[in-house]
Amino acid sequence: MNFVAALNEATAKNLQILEEHLRQSISDDKFIHEVCEPLIRGGKRLRPMLFMLCANSRKDCPTELTMPLATALELIHTASLVHDDIIDTSKKRRGVETANSKYGAQIAVLVGDYLFAKAFQLVAENNYSHEVTLILSNLVKNLCIGEISQDKSLFVVPTMTEYYTNINLKTAIFLSSCCKLGAIISDMTEREINNLTAYGSGLGLAFQIVDDLLDFFGDANVTGKPQGGDLKSGVITLPVIRALEKSNRADELRELVTRGNVTPEDIDNAIKIIRATDAVDYCRTRAQAHIDSARINLPDTLNTSAILALEKLADFIVDRTR
Ligand code: FPP
Ligand code: MG
């Protein structure tokens, strides 16, 4: 991820400052610090980076204005991952043991709540507008709706439409909100706000499709999460949906993903069946299409360095390995 920062000096500097703000945000209490320090380490910082890139994309925006909100965005994201890992009983995230695995679900729920509360404290203390609070609460509401609808249909094959609705709620609305917030706090025009929001939405859809591919085909040492985690927790994603449409072993794959008790051999078999179809290429093509439409939406009124960084960030989304 650092290559995006390398392209844009201001972003590199802002990301360094962000690390300090994140560390400060978990230092009110010794135990909270002990639990949260490994959790905030190693993230890609995609959400705050998008927000800051957009906020600085037409003119420089003071760090006093961007930093508390950038920190809040990363804290909300981390809180959602802490709760997601409880729901999925995941043991590893960002290459380290999850809070639920290390301290149990009770502590992990409370730590997620703490990070979430801390995010909104930062927003309240820094006099952001009513609109900012509305965008934030709306994105969290949609995260929860997405997660609930996913959890109500575990081990059930979604239609393409249901899959896209879910990834929009889970990921695309969050990323588009980061862009929208950046555009709003730097007083952009309505057209620029809408275009940057659409850019973030395309990025978000592509990001989640690639995430779902990496869950099967990524290197666990690089992604920091175990391979086949989605299948194990009953979340059926685009590579499986496409393979079910194309494979001559579709019945076998359907039985395996809907049975409800996934073994390591099942994961290996699912990977073989998916690989034998066009599902990987199909997912990559879909992700690339969302990236192309994201790039088309970048307003031409932004400064050249910002456009370059936002374009590179879009390319990184499809090329990433973690
Ligand atoms: C990770 O996606 C998880 C999410 C995108 C959202 C999880 C949301 C909640 C638990 C509700 C919101 C909670 C709070 C406190 C804001 P994934 O499961 O597809 O990816 P993964 O493989 O990284 O787990
Ligand atoms: Mg998950």
144-153, 213-222, 285-294: lowest mean pLDDT where? Answer: 213-222
Indicate the average pLDDT of the chain: 94
Predicted structure pTM score: 0.94
- Ligand 1 centre to CA of 84 (Å) is 5
Looking at the predicted structure, is the pLDDT value of residue 231 above 60? Answer: yes
- Ligand 1 centre to CA of 180 (Å) is 21
Looking at the predicted structure, is the pLDDT value of residue 322 above 90? Answer: no
Q: CA-to-CA distance for 71 and 19, rounded, in angstroms? A: 9
CATH of the domain at 236: 1.10.600.10
Determine whether the shortest distance from the Cβ of 166 to ligand 1 is under 6 A: no
- Tally the domains of the chain: 1
**How much of the chain exceeds pLDDT 70, in percent?**
98
Residue among 262, 244, 264 at smallest CA distance from 252: 244
Structural domain including 160 reads 3-319
Ligand 1, residue 76: give the atom nearest the CA. Answer: 16
The mean per-residue pLDDT over the stretch 57-70 comes to 95
Q: CA-to-CA distance for 16 and 48, rounded, in angstroms? A: 12
> Which residues 6+ apart lie within 8 Å of 130 measured at CB?
none
Please compute Rg for the chain using Cα positions: 19
User: What is the DSSP code (8-state) at residue 276?
Assistant: T
The mean per-residue pLDDT over the stretch 143-171 comes to 96
